[in-house]
């Protein structure tokens, strides 16, 4: 009997399937988007920081830069899209380009002026007008006097501070600093050196100056020596009269003390030509009018005149 033929075996087929990832769909595009976003954020925060660090006047100039002048904006200058979708003209159309924006105020603050000077606008015109007022060629005589008076007052303010500092730093005068008073007057700065109950500049009834008072007057003289201003020295006394029958009075005593102060100032370096007046007024101008016998009524007044004062021409 014949045996059946062996069944033919089916071939085994191996299929390798390569799964495609998502790289084809996404790739590295997200990295570019993230980089653009980070760049924009960094630029935004940098802009905020710069605006915060910019002075107010420069910020006003920047705001003006982005606001074109009304005369430079017209209907003909409308750009694409200005009248709705697809309205207006192309931005590259020469007829649609508006006039140059007014940016003079900003550019003047961040760039130097050219020889011809920038075009005048509202911001720069105000600055130019203020400069014209300060230009000596455009000043009137009254304006010149006002400017000179302001400069003179500033110089006197500085003098007062220097005097206070010098008196405080000098060991011989630091304890007498409280006896020096500064009074502003129309004609200048008056420096009052006032007696106290426990200290007097001069001996009782005479013009002999105490050594500490001499050091104080010399220190004041050193501080005033480099100024061109004229000076006046005035002596004051209290109202206590001399004994009856004496040939001396408070008038003569006040003059003698003023003269003694002038000599002490010259010893401190003051030139003789600086003195405009030396006078004694006795008790006619008391420091404390309610108490004529107050020791503070005995004092020396040194007035530093402002320059070109009418009082100096009397």
Q: What confidence tens digit (pLDDT) does each residue in 278-295 have?
A: 999 999 999 998 988 888
Among all chains, which residue has been given the structure tokens 């011989």? Answer: 172
Overall domain count for the chain:
2
* Judgement on whether residues 55 and 150 belong to the same structural domain of the protein: no
Residue that wins the pLDDT comparison between 158 and 65:
158
In a domain, 263, yes or no: yes
* Judgement on whether residues 173 and 98 belong to the same structural domain of the protein: no
Phi-psi group of 223: left, alpha or beta (phi > 0 → left; psi -120 to 50 → alpha; rest → beta) = alpha
- Report how far apart, in Å, the C-alpha atoms of 153 and of each of 47, 98, 150, 225, 228 are: 44, 52, 5, 18, 14
Other Cβ atoms within 10 Å of 282 Cβ, number: 19
In a domain, 9, yes or no: no
Could you tell me the pTM of the whole model? 0.52
Residue 201 maps to which CATH number? 3.30.1330.60
- pLDDT tens digits for 127-167? 444 444 556 667 777 777 777 767 777 777 787 788 888 77
Domain encompassing residue 133 = 49-70+87-138
Mean pLDDT lowest among 90-94, 226-230, 231-235? 90-94
Residue 264 burial (C-beta neighbours within 10 Å; 0-12, 13-18, 19+): buried
* Judgement on whether residues 128 and 151 belong to the same structural domain of the protein: no
In a domain, 80, yes or no: no
Residue that wins the pLDDT comparison between 137 and 52:
52
In a domain, 33, yes or no: no
Structure tokens at 297: 């009524």
Q: What is the distance between the alpha carbons of residues 286 and 195, in angstroms, rounded to a whole number? A: 12
In a domain, 171, yes or no: yes
According to DSSP, residue 7 is labeled P
């Amino acid at each position: 009997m014949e045996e059946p033929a062996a069944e033919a075996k089916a071939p085994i087929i191996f299929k390798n399937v390569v799964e495609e990832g998502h790289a084809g769909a996404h790739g590295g595009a997200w990295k570019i988007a993230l980089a653009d976003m980070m760049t924009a954020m960094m630029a935004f925060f940098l802009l905020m920081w710069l605006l915060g660090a910019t002075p107010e006047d420069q910020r006003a100039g920047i705001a003006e830069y982005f606001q074109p002048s009304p005369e430079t904006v017209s209907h003909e200058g409308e750009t694409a899209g200005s009248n709705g979708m697809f309205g207006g003209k192309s931005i590259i159309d020469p007829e649609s380009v508006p006039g140059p924006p007014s940016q003079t105020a900003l550019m003047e603050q961040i760039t130097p002026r050219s020889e011809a000077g920038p075009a005048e606008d509202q911001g720069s015109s105000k600055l130019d007008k203020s400069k014209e007022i300060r230009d000596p060629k455009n000043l009137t005589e009254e304006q010149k006097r006002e400017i000179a008076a302001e400069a003179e007052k500033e110089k006197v303010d500085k003098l007062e501070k220097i005097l206070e500092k010098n008196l405080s730093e000098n060991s011989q005068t630091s304890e007498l600093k409280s006896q020096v008073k500064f009074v502003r007057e129309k004609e200048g700065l008056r420096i009052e050196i006032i007696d106290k109950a426990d200290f007097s500049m001069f001996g009782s009834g005479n013009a002999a100056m105490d050594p500490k008072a001499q050091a104080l007057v010399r220190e004041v003289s050193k501080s005033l020596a480099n100024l061109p201003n004229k000076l006046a020295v005035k002596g004051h006394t209290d109202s206590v009269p001399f004994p009856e029958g004496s040939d001396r009075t408070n008038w003569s005593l006040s003059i003698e003390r003023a003269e003694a102060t002038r000599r002490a100032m010259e010893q401190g370096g003051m030139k003789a030509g600086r003195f405009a007046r030396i006078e004694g007024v006795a008790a006619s101008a008391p420091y404390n009018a309610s108490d004529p016998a107050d020791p503070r009524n005995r004092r020396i007044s040194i007035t530093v005149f402002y320059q070109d004062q009418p009082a100096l021409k009397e």
